[in-house]
Structure 1
Amino acid sequence: MENAGASHHNQSKKSASTFSKIAKQTRLLNTLVVFAVIYTLYLAKSLLIPLFFSAFVALLLSPLVAMARKLYVPRTISAGVLIAFLVTPFTLLGLELAEPAERWMQSLPKIAAEVSEEIEEITSNIDAYSTPAPAEPVEKERSFFDWFGEDEEPEAPPPDKSNSVTEKIKQSSIDIGLTLFSNAPLLLAQVLACIVLIFFLLVFGPSLFHVFIRDFPVVTNKRRALVLVDQIQRELSSYIVTISIINFCLGLATAGVFTYIGIDDALLWGALVALLNFVPYLGGLASCIVLLVVGLVQFGLTSGAFLPAGLFLGLNIIESQLITPAVLGRSMQLNPLIIIVWISITGWLWGVVGVLLAVPILMCIKIILENLGVFSHWINLLESK
């Protein structure tokens, strides 16, 4: 009897050890899979960025195409008209802003030089007041043995740090300009690819989706899949349309205020802050930095240099703290720290487009988790305040 009990104890101990080993291997395998997915997303970003962006836009426009289909309008015509209505305003706005944007890009080295000269002047004034007057050199008494030694070399003057700072600022501005110009052809090619992909997704995407849901065995609960996609479409459309209207109004208000007080190229800065405001928190900070530089260029190192950034900051606080929470409500709110970390990750993976797509992707993940009824603790973490 004792031998049987000891054997059973040893067997249970061995099974627990085996289970622990399997659990460790599973955790290691899951970690490797996560790293493999991250590496794939980073490596294939030139392919995935147009696909994801086109899928989001097609998801937003597909209800309008379906509505036109009920009115016996072919998908090809309705998709073409929608894309034309979507592309035309941005094209006209781009043509309107191309001249001032090009002028600012060409003047970046000059602006950097002027700012660096102002910084050098302030630094030299501060050094003149803070540095004590140099003491008169005291001649050292020479001993008898010093006559046979080598003459001491005079100390070398300290390196001029102001020149190195100036050169770094100038070089940074030139590098930024060259980077933007060199990436322009690739950006244009990706935009054209996105337009073509959006058109084909609007025309042929719904039929492919229904065939996938109906015939592929990987989809076990077909009704839940349809409900999930429909809810993602409705909630994401509501979020993006609402945010787009809010950002458009913010850009319009910024451009109007800047025009009233006499800021140069007010329409350009209004469009810029409207685009950057699609990135929560970090977009407003970037807009303030850009507008501070604009104020320095137009007004110099005076109190007026803070006027553009200060006015925009006031408008941004009203928008972010009062208007957006009241319009979106609690269900659309996400934890600010989670958003910033997620934007950092997607920006590192996919650059500027990843930053713009960060919040819609995070909202899709939240909606999927809510509908599947899994990982409720992660949903609570995303919505925590």
Structure 2
Amino acid sequence: MDTSESVKDTQKRAYPATYPKETYQTRLLKVLVTLAVVYTLYLAKSLLIPLFFSAFIALLLSPLVSVARKFYIPRTISATALMALLVTPFTFLGLELAEPAERWMHSLPKIAAEITQEIDEISNNLEVEKTPPDAAAKEEDASFFDWFSDDDEDAEAPVAQQENSTTVTDKLKQSGIEMGLTMFSSAPLLLAQIFACIILIFFLLVFGPGLFSVFIKDFPIVTNKRRALVLVNQIQRELSGYIVTISIINAFLGLATAAVFTYMGVDDALLWGALVALMNFVPYLGGLASCSILLVAGVVQFGLVSAALLPAILFLGINIIESQLVTPAVLGKSMQLNPLIIILWLSVTGWLWGVVGVLLAVPLLMSFKIILKNLGVLPHWIKLIKSK
């Protein structure tokens, strides 16, 4: 037996209570560190969300800047050209979608009131159909005794029902107005964050590689510098390939949805195509949310008839083809993630960072998986994330 092991055994026999206490202290420290990290992520979301989003975009565009550098094109010029190519299509798309999106936002209270009125009419018709035929005769027989009844009680029933209906409609209108005001009030902050992301992406493309090279060469924390360079390049290649592939698949999903909607006569087909393409970055839940929104859009356009299901059914068919055939065939099994892990991770990121956190959830989870796999650490976590 080794001398150090014998010394440890002797210490355990002499002081048996110290080792469990150290174990408990270590576990408690890990729990406190985890809570501190979660608390920091929650409080710093306004800072971390633009940083993560900018890092993902810069990671995608950095290989193109490196290729341009081989042709003696300065990084400033290539980064400016790439940013222009990135921003221009989205700017035109945003201008194209601004008018229908604004029209839908203004019509939300009216739509809510119309849907409520339709539901009230259907419920009233059902109540009339359920009324037994003897009820009319009883009402006629009771007409003589109505002279001695309290008229106020009979009059209060329809008035109360009308007041309840009006209250529900007013609440729906108020909620729609409040949602619109919330979106308009948060628009300046959103525009400021988008502008900050554009500036940050540009500086990451121009000055990021130089800073990374200095960090690898001069900082003593990096011991095996060659392995670190190979590892970072491999992570960048795999992660950028995944993000580009998912983005292309979602873009084609949006284009296919818009084309089918246009052919079938659905209004604002381009708006719904862009919406489902954005929502599809959220696996499983994004498709369900898109179907719900398209169902409301169908009811607004066609009314409470069977044709109202047309937009949701068309998208559901396209989404099934994409999720069950196209995405598994393109990404392969190595890029697949466990559905339950995805749902739990979406819940965590949604609680931490809201809607943007849900959109960034899967790229972040995929980043963790690729980094852990290339570092060769925590193999049980890798197996847990990609298990089926």
| TM exceeding 0.5 | yes
2:67 maps to amino acid: M
Q: How far does residue 167 in structure 1 lie from its aligned partner after superposition?
A: 3.3
Distance 1:11 1:332 in 2: 48
Distance 2:367 2:226 in 1: 18
Q: Where in structure 2 are the equivalents of 1:335-354 lying within 5 Å?
A: 335-354=338-357
Distance 1:361 1:10 in 2: 47
Picking from 276, 279, 282, the partner of 1:279 is 282
SS in 1 for 2:337: coil
Match of residue 299 from structure 2: 296
Match of residue 57 from structure 1: 57
Distance 1:32 1:131 in 2: 64
Q: How far does residue 12 in structure 1 lie from its aligned partner after superposition?
A: 3.3
Which sits farther off after the overlay, 225-234 or 357-366? 225-234
Distance 2:10 2:247 in 1: 65
Match of residue 196 from structure 1: 199
Question: Per-residue CA shift, 1:184-205, capped at 9, x if unaligned?
Answer: 1000000000000000000000
Question: Per-residue CA shift, 1:137-184, capped at 9, x if unaligned?
Answer: 99xxxxxxxxxxxxxx97986964544433333232222211111111
Q: Where in structure 2 are the equivalents of 1:1-385 lying within 5 Å?
A: 12-13=12-13, 15-130=15-130, 133=135, 160=161, 161-385=164-388
Of all paired residues, the percent bearing the same amino acid is 73
Q: 1:323 to 1:53 in 2, by over 3 A?
A: same
Distance 2:167 2:373 in 1: 55
Distance 1:224 1:367 in 2: 16
Distance 2:38 2:47 in 1: 15
Question: Per-residue CA shift, 1:28-52, capped at 9, x if unaligned?
Answer: 1111111111111111111111111
SS in 2 for 1:107: helix
The total of aligned residue pairs comes to 364
Q: How far does residue 246 in structure 1 lie from its aligned partner after superposition?
A: 1.1
Q: How far does residue 112 in structure 1 lie from its aligned partner after superposition?
A: 0.7
Q: How far does residue 237 in structure 1 lie from its aligned partner after superposition?
A: 1.2
Q: 1:79 to 1:117 in 2, by over 3 A?
A: same
Report if the CA contact (8 A) 2:65-2:79 is conserved: yes
1:377 maps to amino acid: H
Q: 1:213 to 1:87 in 2, by over 3 A?
A: same
Q: 1:128 to 1:9 in 2, by over 3 A?
A: same
1:218 maps to amino acid: I
Q: How far does residue 312 in structure 1 lie from its aligned partner after superposition?
A: 0.3
SS in 2 for 1:54: helix
SS in 2 for 1:218: coil
Report if the CA contact (8 A) 2:299-2:308 is conserved: yes
TM-score, with length taken from structure 1: 0.89
SS in 1 for 2:15: helix
Q: How far does residue 371 in structure 1 lie from its aligned partner after superposition?
A: 1.8
Match of residue 143 from structure 1: none
TM-score, with length taken from structure 2: 0.88
> What RMSD in Å do the two structures reach over aligned CA positions?
2.4
Question: Per-residue CA shift, 1:216-242, capped at 9, x if unaligned?
Answer: 222233233222221221111111111
Distance 1:237 1:373 in 2: 20
Distance 1:301 1:154 in 2: 35
Q: Which structure 1 segments of 5+ residues have no match?
A: 1-7, 139-152
Which sits farther off after the overlay, 255-264 or 190-199? 255-264
Q: Which structure 2 segments of 5+ residues have no match?
A: 1-7, 143-151
Report if the CA contact (8 A) 2:12-2:19 is conserved: no
1:172 maps to amino acid: S
- Name whichever structure is richer in helix by fraction: 2
Q: 1:154 to 1:104 in 2, by over 3 A?
A: closer
2:357 maps to amino acid: G
Distance 2:15 2:129 in 1: 78
2:35 maps to amino acid: F
Distance 1:281 1:189 in 2: 30
Report if the CA contact (8 A) 2:239-2:370 is conserved: no
